[in-house]
Amino acid sequence: MVVNQLEVKNFRNIENTSLEPCKGINIIYGENAQGKTNLLESIWLFTGCRSFRGSKDNEIINFNSTKANIYMDFNAFDREQSASLEISEGRRFFLNGVKMKSSSQIMGEFLCVVFSPVHLSLVKEGPYERRRFLDIAISQLKPKYGVTLSQYNKAVAQRNILLKDVAYHSELYDTLDIWEDRIAFFGSEIIRQRLGYINKLSLYTDEIYSGLSNERERLNIAYKQQAIIGGDNKQELYENLKSQLYASRKNDLITGSTSIGPHRDDLSIKIDGLSARSFGSQGQQRSAALALKLGEAAVIKSFSGEQPVALLDDVMSELDINRQNYILNHIKDWQVFITCCDPANVKHLKDGKRFMMKNGVVKKK
């Protein structure tokens, strides 16, 4: 996956700029608030996903305009392609001149991973962020997973409503069974997919983290279930989840919520056996989040055969020189966009292109 040309118009503070990145490492440097992260965000949107900053589309359009446009030429799946995106009332994607019916239609055509300071929440915040990471990563590889997830969430919501209603209408008690069956059916598939994904991901994250720490520290990731639902296959997982839901009824009727199932699970992240969230230093937490993101890219490559473009926003700060060098070496065969304030941070970079960004305009240096 290689971006050959990018043109951005009325996107946040970028009124009109363009660049021709190289196949390898592209450094975008400049002072604070010049538009470096905005530029990465504009590339990211071609994945069809929402902004990685969690922004709404109307916040993305330049304050003085009513629409934003992004054009990109790229190489993917052994051919030259072009894509454009217009954001005004909603999004309109074109791929090779053909209008896409929805954002989801462009998913999988342009593959990219992003690491930005917001992704530190993967390590620092609560389980919701890590479940979201797993769910988005798996959905990108297997779109059916997204459907299973939304059916699962609906079934949990229905059971929760019923748990509250039973207090007033005891005759509804038996209908809990219907929703528990659906929760177990979709939930067992979610657990199975997450276990499989983490298994694969951990092969890469272990290796990347030991490289980052110069073989001095070990990262360990694992699926952490709120209630252990054992089973070697989907059928066993289904039966175990169903019987545990039944067993948790008494407690769940008191709280009015479903206390077990994949919506309560987590991804455990440990460095040398200690929780990265509770005990990790800033550099260790950043390294762990980065290992997850670079690992995600490696899994995408193993599935699709394409190396995704990497967008690394402000990745070098807080990392010592060994870790910085590892990143530059590890990603040397990918197309990467790295933003930083001070280009001295990447002085070890021999090949690649440098761009300076000022007031929303990119200039080759």
Ligand X SMILES: Nc1ncnc2c1ncn2[C@@H]1O[C@H](COP(=O)(O)OP(=O)(O)OP(=O)(O)O)[C@@H](O)[C@H]1O
Binding residues vs ligand X (CB under 6 A): 12-13, 30, 32-38, 59, 61-63, 314, 341
Q: Let me know if 267 is exposed, middle or buried by CB neighbors in 10 A (0-12, 13-18, 19+).
A: buried
Closest approach of ligand X to the CB of residue 330, in Å: 23
Closer to Mg ion by CB, 41 or 252: give it: 41
Residue with tokens 């021709």: 20
Closer to ligand X by CB, 61 or 253: give it: 61
Burial annotation 5-35 (CB, 10 A radius, 16+ → b, else e): ebebbbbbbbbebebebebbbbbbbbeeebb
Closest approach of ligand X to the CB of residue 342, in Å: 10
DSSP class of 263:
G
- Looking at 10, 17, 26, 37, which residue binds Mg ion (CB under 5 A)? 37
C-alpha distances out from residue 176 to 28, 235, 244, 245, 319, Å: 55, 20, 13, 10, 51
Closer to ligand X by CB, 21 or 30: give it: 30
DSSP class of 174:
G
Closer to ligand X by CB, 62 or 213: give it: 62
Size of the site for Mg ion (CB under 5 A): 1
Closest approach of ligand X to the CB of residue 6, in Å: 15
Closer to Mg ion by CB, 76 or 114: give it: 114
Question: For residues 312 and 28, is the Cβ–Cβ distance under 8 A?
Answer: no
Using CB under 5 A as the binding rule, whether residue 285 contacts Mg ion is answered as no
Closest approach of ligand X to the CB of residue 69, in Å: 14
- Closest residue to Mg ion, judged by C-beta, is 37
- Which entry of ligand X, Mg ion, none binds 333, CB below 5 to 8 A by partner kind? none
- Which entry of ligand X, Mg ion, none binds 341, CB below 5 to 8 A by partner kind? ligand X
Closest approach of ligand X to the CB of residue 51, in Å: 11
CA angle 324, 325, 329 (to 5 degrees): 120
Residue with tokens 């298994």: 199
Closest approach of Mg ion to the CB of residue 37, in Å: 3
User: Looking at 6-14, 31-39, 60-68, 138-146, which segment touches Mg ion (CB under 5 A)?
Assistant: 31-39
Residues that bind Mg ion (CB under 5 A): 37
